[in-house]
Amino acid sequence: MRVLHASLLAGSMIVILLLATAAPVRSQPPQPSQPAAGEAAPPAAETPQPLLETNPAIRAALELPRQEPRDYVRATLWLIDLGRPELAKPILDDLMKRQVRDEQRAAIVAEFGSADLLRLARSAELAPEGAKFADACLAAAHTAATKPQRIAALVKQLADPSTEVRIAARHDLAAAGQAGVTATLETMAHESDPTRRATLADAAELMHPLVDGPLLAMLATNDSALRSEVGTLLEKLAVPQARPFLSNGANGSTAAHALAQAIARYQHGTPPFPVDADGRVELWKWDDATMKLSSARVLANDAQLIWIARLATELARLQPDDFVAARTALVLRLEAAGLTADPSAPPSTPNLAKAEPRLLNEALAEALAKGYSHAARSLLTAMGEQHRADVFSTVDGKPSPLVRALDSPSRRVRFAALEAILALNPASPYPGSSRVAESLEWFARANGERQAVVAMPTNSAATNLAGELAAHHFATHASNRGRDAVDTARSLSDLEAIFIDMNTIVPDIRQTLFELRTSPATGDVPIALLAADGRLQEAKKLATEHSRVLAISRPHSPAALASIVERLAALAPRDQVPDNERIDQAEQARKWIAMLRGGERPFYTFREREHMPLTPAASNHLSTETSPSP
């Protein structure tokens, strides 16, 4: 019956389209006769008479009986096909007033197809109702197609005795998209019967390329049989990212070489995965314990590092005696785990409870050198939990990686270093111990307010800009010299932005930027480099020498300043610490200070007197000197 109905419908449409080939004829209202000589002309009509549509195909579409929502859609699509979508506007308006159930919307997609619904959505004459209705129908169809009960039934049909049923189930699962992929692969992982597992693998093969990412994730399984099945599928599908893993069938050195080559290729900028319009990549993860797949959309750079970590972990597995490979894999694995976790959550320390101090020290040094803040925090936490004071020991007498972490541009890394040092609580001085008191005082001064530093060539310009920033809820510290701006910025523990003019002197702008970027307290704080007319290109060139520096013209209006503030916020590090966390850190730092002052650790010397409040430095450092202005 469905075939007969479709044939009759197609035949009716052909007849209507054939009738439409005749040129449309529109009946015209009668033309007034010309007045005779000497007679007065009749008055002009106030409104034109409506044109009557006589094209038989268009009239057939307009007169099509409309009872169900599908009838309205059919009439609308016919008018779009006939080049008269504007005539469908009243029909669509009537449809939008009706109560249309989700199952009716899904049935419309099944009958007319997603391509026709997309044509409806893209019709300018029917906007915005056309797009709204089409989107609702497509969403309903997707929901219906991906219902867990339906997916489970289709997966079960893959083992049906009927060939026709199995083929139909395969195609329906592929059409269900990612939900069908996930259900098929998870069922395959649970299946112990080789024949049924092979049937599921055949179905998964039809789902290329949606199946590629989940299969790559499943390569991490410890189930040798499942790994073999997954590897075979990836080879059949010729998924390029899988090649370094699948070369393990050769000898160990060949496999290690392939992995090392892939790591080097990706580290030099080759993206491992296609990037979407938002600059993100969907990465999949396999959990052996639950035998479940999950995914997350991450930034392209993060995806690259996470994938390199996968390769490095496999390389370390093949070379168990290579200490450097194991250390690098550990650092990358910890950083990758942090990239997809809540930055405010405590760092995880998987398998680090019994790690040797040498491994922790060298891994922390590598993490600090490469700016891997997530890995550094995890390693610092592990050091504090182990309670082994020998992590302070160094052969050359220089500060250990644990103490050097106090100079990280990441606020959370610096605080994690203090937590580890105070947990270990060494009884005697060690290289760099003087930095602990200084860092504690810096953290203790936080009060959660948004702070900014401004440096302009003149006193008036600096105070004016500071006043304008008050509208953006900044407590601003103004200066007309680079030296004062640097010193003030370093002392502020709630600093969120720096505004510095190209014409600021003492020192010159290049030295000022260098000092701001190399100080732990200001290393990650976004900087607006303000340029006078004629110096913007010079400012842009200078900005490329540092991270998080925005070169821009001096703001001459509230709107321009608002734009700068917004752009600086976008430059902030992703793990920027919110005000409530800064307040918590300050409270903990004050407790540590009180403990150290009352304990037996005299080598920690605090510059603040015990009765003095730990408050930020003075708000203004305005010299009588002024910088030259163009």
Q: Is the pLDDT of residue 38 over 80?
A: no
Q: Is the pLDDT of residue 21 over 90?
A: no
What value does the mean pLDDT take over residues 53-74? 90
pLDDT band at 248 (very low <50, low <70, confident <90, very high): low
Long-range residue pairs from 267-270, CB within 8 A, at least 24 positions apart, any chain: 267/308
Q: How far apart are CA 25 and CA 45, in angstroms?
A: 23
Q: How far apart are CA 299 and CA 278, in angstroms?
A: 8
> Domain limits of the chain?
213-437, 451-580+617-621
Residue-wise pLDDT tens digits, 91-100 = 999 999 999 9
Please check whether residue 326 is in contact with residue 316, taking contact to mean a CB–CB distance below 8 angstroms. yes
Residue-wise pLDDT tens digits, 495-537 = 999 999 999 989 999 999 999 999 999 999 999 999 999 999 9
- Residue labelled with tokens 């619904």: 117
> What's the pLDDT score for residue 519?
95
Statement: the pTM of the whole predicted model exceeds 0.85: no
Q: How far apart are CA 332 and CA 292, in angstroms?
A: 24
Q: Is the pLDDT of residue 41 over 60?
A: no
CA 534 to chain centre: 37
| Residues composing the chain | 630
- Residue labelled with tokens 């922790």: 360
Q: Is 464 exposed, middle or buried (0-12, 13-18, 19+ CB in 10 A)?
A: middle
What value does the mean pLDDT take over residues 122-147? 91
Choices 3.40.1160.10, 3.40.50.620, 3.90.1150.10, 3.40.50.2300: CATH for 451-580+617-621: 3.40.50.2300
Tokens of 42: 């009749």
Across the chain, mean pLDDT equals: 87
Name the β-bridge partners of 620.
478
> What's the pLDDT score for residue 54?
72
> What's the pLDDT score for residue 365?
97
